[in-house]
Amino acid sequence: MKIIHFADLHLGVEVYGRPDPTTGLDTRLLDFLAAFDKLVDYAICQKVDLVLFCGDAFKSRDPSQTQQREFARRIRKLADAGIPVFLLIGNHDLPAASGRATSTEIYETLRIDKVTVAAQPKVYNIETDSGPVQIAALPWPRKSTLEGKAQSEGQSLSSDELKAKIEGAMSSKIQQMADAIDPMQPSILAAHIWVDGAATASERKFILGAEPTVMLSNIALPVFDYVALGHLHKRQELSGTPPVVYSGSLERLDFGEENDDKGFYVIEITVRDGRKIVGHRFQKLDGRRFLTLEKTLDEEDLNPNASVLKLLADRREDIKDAIVQLKIKMPESLAPLLRNAEIKSALKDAYYFAVSREIERQARNRLGAEHDESLTPMQALEKYLSMKGVSESRKKELMEKAEDLIASLGS
């Protein structure tokens, strides 16, 4: 039995994008759809038995009709190829108000063949071409449900009490589902949760204390052959027996994921002589690259613009079709010497670029009480450069240029 595990598609991320002149769609949406297409094509070509999606189909809880259409096209392509698709509900899939439908609930309402939507925590039995597989589903918990239950019982819970109650309910439900598993059949725990101790991408703005978490020991139960996780965008394997795996996001979302490989996992479960053999591997996708370039300019740099352009020339191949941020750190005196037009021209082959400058502002130094009108302009300049800490070689060069300038003014 061969299963694909992926999560956190986040269709609708449009940062660093622009309208595509051919389709009219945002180019970043096309990036994410291209990654999804590669997964779909792989699933069909390799004749996988199940595609397991662990939540967050869209960036927004209220995706546009276009985003929903493009997602549905690919789900339908898998279903038409005879591949069952399991859609777990993530936090971005939940509506803002209780009682409203989730962004993927329509598939369940229409009863589309081969598509299962897991909005409730329970064990689902999925038939595949290689036999049945049990999926214990733990979607993102609905806080409103527990809040409503507590209020009906006359309780008023603080945020910490509600968080603890959710964590307890999740752990309890996982154990209940584990007790219901047939150990002779392939089984997977699919959860959209935060496992305590798991790493996040550097630009995620989560505050760990604000979100409910589960302990690794509460999900790495031996009855499960594989634990498929969604919610955190950083790909990582938390345990080996059973494998507890965050597949990570399918495409890079921001510079916090610049160095992360993106893709999906392929799980293979074989039953031999009553014993299950489980293997899994990461299938890398070549998505949109992010690239950070940094240049620190020294006050003694005679041609700071050329120094920046050399960096860009040296990284020309890396810049091509990448989302690039160029960070320049320099003293205030060099700022006027940078030519923006030339720098932007050198970045023209990037998919998107942004240039930022960090200016080191220096307080003006006074020449001192001993300075008086008896000092010649050259003597005053020499004294000023010494007080600024300019090196002897640089001071000599500046003094020579000043001398030539003064001579030209007097001629």
Q: In which band, very low, low, confident or very high, does the pLDDT at 153 lie, cut at 50, 70 and 90?
A: low
- Amino acid of residue 78: L
Residue 101 scores a pLDDT above 70: no
By the 8 A CB rule, do 184 and 274 touch? yes
Note the CATH number of domain 2-285. 3.60.21.10
Domain ranges for the chain: 2-285, 290-362, 371-411
Q: Which residue has the higher pLDDT, 209 or 260?
A: 260
Angle at 175 between CA 170 and CA 178, to 5 degrees: 125
Q: In which band, very low, low, confident or very high, does the pLDDT at 399 lie, cut at 50, 70 and 90?
A: confident
Phi then psi for residue 178, to 5 deg, are -60, -40
Q: What is the pLDDT of residue 223?
A: 96
Q: Which residue has the higher pLDDT, 339 or 151?
A: 339
Q: In which band, very low, low, confident or very high, does the pLDDT at 282 lie, cut at 50, 70 and 90?
A: very high
Residue 340 scores a pLDDT above 60: yes
Q: Which residue has the higher pLDDT, 102 or 125?
A: 125
How does pLDDT run across 188-197, given as a tens digit for each residue? Answer: 999 999 999 9
Q: What is the pLDDT of residue 350?
A: 98
Q: Looking at residues 286-302, what average pLDDT do you find?
A: 94
Least confident range of 35-49, 221-235, 314-328, 366-380: 366-380
Angle at 36 between CA 240 and CA 61, to 5 degrees: 90
Q: In which band, very low, low, confident or very high, does the pLDDT at 95 lie, cut at 50, 70 and 90?
A: confident
How does pLDDT run across 371-390, given as a tens digit for each residue? Answer: 455 677 888 888 888 877 88
Q: What percent of the chain has a predicted confidence (pLDDT) above 90?
A: 67
Stated pTM of the model? 0.82
Q: What is the pLDDT of residue 115?
A: 95
Residue 322 scores a pLDDT above 60: yes
Q: What is the pLDDT of residue 409?
A: 65
Residue 149 scores a pLDDT above 70: no
Give SS3 for 327: strand
Could you give the count of Cα atoms lying within 13 Å of 143 in the half-sphere of its Cβ?
A: 15
Residue 203 scores a pLDDT above 60: no
CA dihedral 224, 226, 229, 234 (to 10 degrees): 140
Cβ neighbours for 361, distance < 8 A, ≥ 6 positions apart = 332
Q: What is the pLDDT of residue 368?
A: 52
Residue 150 scores a pLDDT above 60: no
Q: What is the pLDDT of residue 357?
A: 94
Which two structure tokens, joined as six digits, stand for 208?
Answer: 């760990």
Cβ neighbours for 86, distance < 8 A, ≥ 6 positions apart = 50, 51, 52, 53, 116, 118, 124, 126, 135, 137, 190
Average of per-residue pLDDT values in the chain? 88
Q: In which band, very low, low, confident or very high, does the pLDDT at 207 lie, cut at 50, 70 and 90?
A: very low
Residue 20 scores a pLDDT above 60: yes
Q: Which residue has the higher pLDDT, 94 or 290?
A: 290
Q: What is the pLDDT of residue 206?
A: 45
Q: Looking at residues 329-337, what average pLDDT do you find?
A: 91
Q: Looking at residues 23-29, what average pLDDT do you find?
A: 95
CA dist., res. 48 & res. 361, Å (int): 60
Q: Looking at residues 309-328, what average pLDDT do you find?
A: 97
